[in-house]
Amino acid sequence: MRVLMVCSGGMSSAIVVKALKQEAEKQGLEMEIKAVGTSEFSEEVGRDYNYALVAPQVKHRYNEYKKAADQANVPCEMIPPRGYTPIGAPSLIKQIKEGAK
């Protein structure tokens, strides 16, 4: 499963991605997760992803991301604020499992 995460500069999402990878490994899930900044998202989402996640601090850009993701036929959802922390990884994995195509 391939998951794309977008935040503002791709820095803070890298922290969450690291926690997600650990959690996925713990649960024995095959999961590839990539974090990108705002300007890269629309191109990157076209590269065969199963799911896209939008960090809470860029929620004002959600519609723009959603449009790009829809074009690429990738389900795209917001990360709830509390999920956007290293300890939010288990709930985020659950969200990914339910939302990914």
Residue 65: both structure tokens together: 């991301």
Q: Which is nearer to other proteins, 12 or 50 (CB)?
A: 12
82 forms part of the interface with other proteins (CB under 8 A): yes
Q: Which is nearer to other proteins, 50 or 85 (CB)?
A: 85
Give the residue, chosen from 21, 29, 46, 64, that forms a contact with other proteins under the rule CB under 8 A: 64
Partners of 3 in beta bridges: 33, 51
Identify the active-site residue in 6, 7, 55, 76: 7
- Alpha-carbon gap, residue 79 to 35, rounded angstroms: 13
84 forms part of the interface with other proteins (CB under 8 A): yes
Cα separations (Å) of 10 from 29, 50, 63, 94? 23, 19, 19, 22
- Tell the burial category of 47 from Cβ atoms under 10 Å away from its Cβ (0-12, 13-18, 19+): exposed
7 catalytic residue (yes or no)? yes
- In the complex, which residues of this chain contact other proteins (CB under 8 A)? 7-9, 11-12, 15-16, 38-39, 55-61, 64, 81-82, 84-88
